[in-house]
């Protein structure tokens, strides 16, 4: 007999009004007592704008993950950066009980890094990546530039989920 499963929190967000921004998706406490915060870094307006090309998201994943894991302040707190299956954004998971406003500067730095990146994408080789040719650097740069415009002066509506 199948039991009815509870809808997870991210599926209870009204995606019809969600805008590009940085949102606290959830907070979890590990068995050792560490708090980790998951951020929804939304790049496009779901169901109203085209989803991001997965090749651009893949390139962005490599670039931002590398940026975060080399950041002088945030590297030790970085748990994960990766794309959403719906291709409208990325998840950022950091150690600590954080608010969206705590990471706006970090996301600006990361997106500026992507927007200005020149050269070979880190880890984009057959040895280092399972699908290394599935990348679009120009697309990642365009996504980053668009996001930077969206969060230039983010209001509450771009930092807190809509009711």
Q: Give the domains, in start order, of the chain with CATH numbers.
A: 18-152 (3.30.1360.80)
Q: Which tens digit of pLDDT belongs to each residue from 64-83?
A: 999 999 999 999 999 999 99
Measured CA to CA, the distance from residue 13 to residue 23 in angstroms comes to 11
Q: Which tens digit of pLDDT belongs to each residue from 103-158?
A: 999 999 999 999 999 999 999 999 999 999 999 999 999 999 999 999 888 899 99
Q: Are 81 and 90 in contact (CB under 8 A)?
A: yes
Measured CA to CA, the distance from residue 114 to residue 17 in angstroms comes to 27
pLDDT of residue 153: 86
pLDDT of residue 1: 56
Measured CA to CA, the distance from residue 123 to residue 10 in angstroms comes to 30
Given a cut of 70, whether residue 86 has pLDDT beyond it is: yes
Give the chain's mean pLDDT: 95
Q: Which carries the bigger pLDDT value, residue 112 or residue 163?
A: 112
Torsion of Cα atoms, 144 then 146 then 151 then 156, to 10° = -120
Q: List the Cα angle 141/143/144 in 5-degree steps.
A: 65
Q: Which tens digit of pLDDT belongs to each residue from 14-61?
A: 999 999 999 999 999 999 999 999 999 999 999 999 999 999 999 999
CB neighbour class for 30 (10 Å; exposed up to 12, middle 13-18, buried from 19)? exposed
Q: Are 46 and 18 in contact (CB under 8 A)?
A: yes
- pTM, entire model: 0.94
User: CA distances (Å), 47 to each of 13, 134, 140, in order?
Assistant: 13, 24, 20
């Amino acid at each position: 007999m199948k039991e009815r499963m509870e809808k997870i929190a991210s599926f209870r967000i009204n995606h019809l009004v969600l805008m590009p921004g940085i949102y606290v998706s959830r907070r979890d406490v590990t068995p050792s007592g560490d708090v980790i915060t998951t951020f929804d870094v939304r790049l496009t307006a779901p169901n109203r704008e085209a989803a991001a090309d997965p090749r651009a998201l893949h390139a962005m994943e490599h670039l931002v993950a590398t940026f975060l894991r080399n950041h002088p302040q945030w590297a030790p707190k970085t748990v994960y950066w990766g794309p959403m299956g719906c291709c409208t954004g990325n998840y950022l998971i950091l150690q600590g009980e954080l608010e969206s406003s705590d990471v706006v500067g970090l996301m600006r730095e990361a997106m500026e890094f992507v927007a200005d990146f020149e050269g070979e994408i880190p880890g984009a080789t057959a040895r280092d990546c399972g699908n290394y040719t599935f990348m679009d650097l120009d697309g990642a740069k365009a996504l980053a530039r668009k996001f930077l415009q969206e969060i230039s002066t983010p209001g509450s509506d771009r930092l807190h989920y809509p009711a």
